Chain A
């Protein structure tokens, strides 16, 4: 607080300046008199004014006063050149806004810590099978229990079972709805470090006794119970199980997934007693809180050793299994999002750099016009340092004005990003402009101000760099740099847009048009059939069926001809040759609804039920893998999928491949049993000849008529679902496209400004040339050559940089190489076209120079 006292003294000094001056005079006069009285020479006293000046500065914010002068002067200069100021501010504001908006996302998604205490000490512990590239599998309960008793690195090892959803009902529940919940270990909330805002978490005893108690989330509590504290002790029915509510979690607790709203002890689940005995059945996702003094590496080392011992002990269940530790923050964020954000951040940094180059260019041009003023001020005694400081103040003011203009723009951008951003970016909905973002904006603006202010400031008259020729060359270099950066950005954007188009062009293996998809929940699952029949009878409906999902992001079970599966007439395959397999039970006319083609044989249907032999249709990949070049119909393999015990399954049909792993991955083997021989299908598909969305009301009515407590959820068209697959790519391509468009425009403005100024300066020269017989065409060629040379050099540098740098985004590309000649060619042509347009206007102006006027103006 010392500086505060000092500041107060100084402000007092400023206010009482006359008094201060008198005192100083008195003090120094006394000194002189004493010198005189003691016979000292006067001249030794030195410069009394300088001494006074030095003392006064101490008292009166000396430097601050000068700074204030600079500031006022800067504002005056900016006001006097409105055209310059507006262009510069807008250019910078665009760059600053883009940077602020993207940084807001980075800040909200990556920098802000998770809402759990010491979240960086929480890690997920997955079972992995490194040889298959499977890194995140659930863990069996016996393995979890061994980890828990043996691991020393964790304070708590907790788990949740794969989250589930069920119909929430009950006499106290306001309205039936689908609620996502999970089964947990008793220490789940302890490991997470959160406490209920009302009531309590389940106790170890309740867990041991399999008590049906449940903790609900804040939003659910508000929605269904009006936030009443009497919720404690009430009974709710979730998925046909009655639970007693014992606690409410505060807002923001949604672990492990955003839509999760209820947590119950795993022992109360139907599967607990069975899975607890089965070491081979991956059932729960484990996470732990590191013990104090233990770091991730140490924990990882311990768990790897532990897993190796368990593998040796139980080779059948744990064969090739290890443990994969993933810090929670990394888990939440995934790997693609940080990479994407880094690229966007890089792109906006480039945009800002181009904006800075543009403004520096403007300043240089204006610097030439201001030479007289600066020369005058130098002559009047202003030091070079003083002038540089003055010019930097101007830049800083310019940058801060731009920041003020850019912030609302950024806020709008953030709003847009949050609304349009893909679901795959976690916590995107919490992104706001907070203190850290503001600090970033100010920092970036000031940095930008110095960046574009320093170069022109050093080019002032008096310095050896002040020569006009050098200044012109420097301006050329800036324009070349702008074009190189724009070229680099545009190439990156071009590659990503081509990848996006490539993904869009992928045939998903089904026809998404005119299909409504939704999920239905009946407390009596048999009623789904009744609903399907009634929906089938609706006008316009062409096919209705269910299937257990279409896109499978998480790696499905790896199977092969091995211990668990056996293909008739083929030798066993070692585990490391196993390939993943998707099993999708279905019912009704799902293949017609999807518009999938049957290539051979027939499709399993309702006649293939519990009593009849197990049959499946398989996809092309499956057929090629086991029966290449043969007819797979009638061939058999062994599987446990129907009854849990090994039995022979007969192939009765082959269907066209569907991109079951998402649009960007090759399809894996897939088999389609009838629902009656597998698990009931979950997604209802309705193909209609009319607008699918118009069916929603009728479908809801049918479902409610059958059971008022039933629910319908996840309603979308198949086209929307398909679009979700490409949402992140679309987001990425759009943003990069937008940023590179800004970059191109800025580069165009840059080259235009340079030529415009150059033509204005050379008016006389052009006049002389024209007077000497040069034609308009010659003059135009001369100006165009000057500009295009810079653009071409810039684009060339940009291509070299692009060839070196686009390799970094190779992993984001789909169906296009990072050095794709077509993209680079198209982009370079586009950029040169923009450049020539930008050059044409000043060139055209040059041809209109009237030799007489040009020569006369002096």
Chain B
């Protein structure tokens, strides 16, 4: 599998969740998704293309997102991804378990 383990890379499940969350704002192409996550996270989260595109294709195969070709803001042909109903459902469950997890970690960090 030979995954690059550099810092700042997102755990796979987390990346899926962030992508799904990003797509709740409307359909977006791959670059846009990466850019959005990067900016909103104040440059903390960096989405590697090597992870992003396989993840997008996998989620598409799983039916969590759908794709169609369209024109980008600079009038280039680009592949746009949008959320499906299944994706929305998955996001809800993932977000919930994330919140539970991060809350738990936060509580432990505060007290211990």
- A contact residues vs B (CB 8 Å cutoff): 2, 5-6, 9-10, 23, 26-28, 30-31, 33-35, 37-38, 45-47, 50-51, 54-55, 58-59
> Among the listed A5, A35, A37, A51, which residue makes an inter-chain contact with B53, where contact means beta carbons less than 8 Å apart?
A51
> Among the listed B35, B62, B72, which residue makes an inter-chain contact with A30, where contact means beta carbons less than 8 Å apart?
B72
Interface of A is mostly: helix
Whether the pair B78, A30 counts as a contact (CB closer than 8 A) is yes
For A33, the chain B residues whose CB sits under 8 A away are: 76
- Minimum C-beta distance from B54 to chain A (A): 4
Contact with A along B39-62 (1 / 0, CB 8 A): 000000000111001100110011
For A2, the chain B residues whose CB sits under 8 A away are: 63
Whether the pair B58, A30 counts as a contact (CB closer than 8 A) is no
The verdict on A9 contacting B76 (CB below 8 Å), with A31-B30, A31-B31, A46-B50 known, is no
* B107 close to chain A: CB less than 8 A: no
Give 13 new A-B contacts, CB below 8 A, not counting A30-B72, A30-B78, A31-B31: A26-B77, A26-B79, A27-B53, A27-B78, A28-B53, A30-B76, A30-B79, A34-B31, A46-B48, A54-B50, A54-B54, A55-B57, A58-B57
Q: How far is it, in angstroms, between the C-alpha of A47 and the C-alpha of B49 when the chains are bound?
A: 9
* B29 close to chain A: CB less than 8 A: yes
Q: How far is it, in angstroms, between the C-alpha of A35 and the C-alpha of B50 when the chains are bound?
A: 14
- Most chain B Cβ neighbours within 10 Å, of A6, A33, A47, A58: A58
> Among the listed B30, B49, B61, B63, which residue makes an inter-chain contact with A58, where contact means beta carbons less than 8 Å apart?
B61
Whether the pair B79, A58 counts as a contact (CB closer than 8 A) is no
For B102, the chain A residues whose CB sits under 8 A away are: none
For A59, the chain B residues whose CB sits under 8 A away are: 57, 61
Residue of A nearest to B30 (CB): A31
For B61, the chain A residues whose CB sits under 8 A away are: 6, 9-10, 58-59
- B contact residues vs A (CB 8 Å cutoff): 4, 29-31, 35, 48-50, 53-54, 57-58, 61-63, 72, 74, 76-79
Q: How far is it, in angstroms, between the C-alpha of A377 and the C-alpha of B54 when the chains are bound?
A: 29
Q: How far is it, in angstroms, between the C-alpha of A10 and the C-alpha of B54 when the chains are bound?
A: 15
> Among the listed A5, A27, A34, A47, which residue makes an inter-chain contact with B50, where contact means beta carbons less than 8 Å apart?
A47
For A28, the chain B residues whose CB sits under 8 A away are: 49, 53
17 A/B residue pairs, CB under 8 Å, sorted by A:
A6-B62, A23-B79, A26-B79, A27-B30, A30-B29, A30-B31, A30-B77, A31-B30, A31-B53, A33-B76, A34-B72, A35-B31, A38-B35, A45-B49, A50-B50, A54-B53, A59-B57
For B50, the chain A residues whose CB sits under 8 A away are: 46-47, 50-51, 54
For A5, the chain B residues whose CB sits under 8 A away are: 63
Q: How far is it, in angstroms, between the C-alpha of A537 and the C-alpha of B57 when the chains are bound?
A: 97
Residue of B nearest to A28 (CB): B53
Whether the pair A55, B54 counts as a contact (CB closer than 8 A) is yes
Whether the pair A51, B79 counts as a contact (CB closer than 8 A) is no
Whether the pair A58, B58 counts as a contact (CB closer than 8 A) is yes
For B31, the chain A residues whose CB sits under 8 A away are: 30-31, 34-35
Residue of B nearest to A5 (CB): B63
Q: How far is it, in angstroms, between the C-alpha of A694 and the C-alpha of B31 when the chains are bound?
A: 98
Residue of B nearest to A53 (CB): B54
- Minimum C-beta distance from A124 to chain B (A): 54
- Minimum C-beta distance from A12 to chain B (A): 11
- Minimum C-beta distance from B44 to chain A (A): 16
Whether the pair A51, B49 counts as a contact (CB closer than 8 A) is yes
For A38, the chain B residues whose CB sits under 8 A away are: 35
Q: How far is it, in angstroms, between the C-alpha of A31 and the C-alpha of B58 when the chains are bound?
A: 18
Q: How far is it, in angstroms, between the C-alpha of A362 and the C-alpha of B63 when the chains are bound?
A: 48
Residue of B nearest to A33 (CB): B76
Q: How far is it, in angstroms, between the C-alpha of A51 and the C-alpha of B57 when the chains are bound?
A: 11
Residue of A nearest to B4 (CB): A46
Q: How far is it, in angstroms, between the C-alpha of A6 and the C-alpha of B86 when the chains are bound?
A: 15
Residue of B nearest to A50 (CB): B50
Q: How far is it, in angstroms, between the C-alpha of A30 and the C-alpha of B78 when the chains are bound?
A: 7
For A9, the chain B residues whose CB sits under 8 A away are: 61
Whether the pair B54, A51 counts as a contact (CB closer than 8 A) is yes
- Most chain B Cβ neighbours within 10 Å, of A37, A45, A47, A54: A54
Q: How far is it, in angstroms, between the C-alpha of A51 and the C-alpha of B61 when the chains are bound?
A: 16
- Minimum C-beta distance from B76 to chain A (A): 6
- Minimum C-beta distance from B105 to chain A (A): 30
For A58, the chain B residues whose CB sits under 8 A away are: 54, 57-58, 61
For B58, the chain A residues whose CB sits under 8 A away are: 58
- Minimum C-beta distance from B27 to chain A (A): 14
- Minimum C-beta distance from A40 to chain B (A): 10
- Minimum C-beta distance from B49 to chain A (A): 6
For A23, the chain B residues whose CB sits under 8 A away are: 79
- Most chain B Cβ neighbours within 10 Å, of A5, A23, A31: A31
For B72, the chain A residues whose CB sits under 8 A away are: 30, 34
Q: How far is it, in angstroms, between the C-alpha of A34 and the C-alpha of B54 when the chains are bound?
A: 19
Whether the pair A55, B77 counts as a contact (CB closer than 8 A) is no
Q: How far is it, in angstroms, between the C-alpha of A463 and the C-alpha of B54 when the chains are bound?
A: 33
Q: How far is it, in angstroms, between the C-alpha of A45 and the C-alpha of B53 when the chains are bound?
A: 12
Residue of B nearest to A31 (CB): B31
Residue of B nearest to A54 (CB): B54
- Minimum C-beta distance from B51 to chain A (A): 9
For A54, the chain B residues whose CB sits under 8 A away are: 50, 53-54
Q: How far is it, in angstroms, between the C-alpha of A28 and the C-alpha of B53 when the chains are bound?
A: 8
- Minimum C-beta distance from A805 to chain B (A): 46
Q: How far is it, in angstroms, between the C-alpha of A44 and the C-alpha of B92 when the chains are bound?
A: 32
For B49, the chain A residues whose CB sits under 8 A away are: 28, 31, 45-46, 51
For B79, the chain A residues whose CB sits under 8 A away are: 23, 26-27, 30
Q: How far is it, in angstroms, between the C-alpha of A5 and the C-alpha of B30 when the chains are bound?
A: 24
- Minimum C-beta distance from B46 to chain A (A): 9
For the complex of A and B, list the 9 residue pairs with the smallest distance between their C-beta atoms, beginning with the closest. Answer: A34-B31, A54-B54, A46-B50, A55-B57, A27-B79, A31-B31, A58-B57, A30-B78, A51-B50
- Most chain A Cβ neighbours within 10 Å, of B53, B61, B77, B79: B53
- Minimum C-beta distance from A144 to chain B (A): 62
- Minimum C-beta distance from B75 to chain A (A): 12
For B74, the chain A residues whose CB sits under 8 A away are: 37
Q: How far is it, in angstroms, between the C-alpha of A59 and the C-alpha of B78 when the chains are bound?
A: 19
Q: How far is it, in angstroms, between the C-alpha of A633 and the C-alpha of B102 when the chains are bound?
A: 101
Residue of A nearest to B62 (CB): A6
For A10, the chain B residues whose CB sits under 8 A away are: 61
- Minimum C-beta distance from A65 to chain B (A): 16
Q: How far is it, in angstroms, between the C-alpha of A129 and the C-alpha of B74 when the chains are bound?
A: 98
